Amino acid sequence: MVQDKTYYVYMLASNSRVLYIGMTSNLCQRVYQHKHKIFQGFTKRYAVDKLVYYEETNNVWEAIRREKQLKKWRREKKISLIENVNPGWYDLYEELCGKGE
């Protein structure tokens, strides 16, 4: 039996609004990793760890396509997308994943 899996395309922001776009099948775990700077790289270097936007789909290829699409967008268009659903740029992590991290 094939199990349905959920895939997420997400945007993280730093306090100074540096943006990062990624894709994962476990959003809570992945954001936790960003928040605790578990891996070296862009998000650790620029303290990009606030979940400000996400989308979900059951199709991995759609998630990959969407991630690539968003990465090509101009910054202004990304900001507009975020502000349409999260105008205060609040960290959505606790709401989505709970306070227990």
**In this model, does residue 11 exceed pLDDT 60?**
yes
φ, ψ at 78 (rounded to 5°): -65, -45
Cβ atoms of 15 and 47 within 8 Å: the answer is: yes
Q: Name the band, by pLDDT with cuts 50, 70 and 90, for residue 4.
A: confident
User: How many angstroms separate the CA atoms of 88 and 64, rounded?
Assistant: 27
Cβ atoms of 89 and 18 within 8 Å: the answer is: no
User: Residue 100: its pLDDT value, please?
Assistant: 53
Which tens digits make up the pLDDT trace of 23-80?
999 999 999 999 999 989 999 999 999 999 999 999 999 999 999 999 999 999 999 9
User: How many angstroms separate the CA atoms of 3 and 100, rounded?
Assistant: 27
Q: Which two tokens stand for residue 99?
A: 């306070």
User: Residue 3: its pLDDT value, please?
Assistant: 58
Q: Identify residue 55 by its one-letter amino acid code.
A: E
Please name each of the domains of the chain with its CATH number: 7-97 (3.40.1440.10)
User: Residue 1: its pLDDT value, please?
Assistant: 43
- Tell me the average pLDDT across 3-16: 93
| Residue 42: other Cβ atoms inside 10 A | 13
The model's pTM is 0.92
Q: Identify residue 45 by its one-letter amino acid code.
A: R
Q: Which neighbouring-strand residues pair with 9?
A: 23, 55
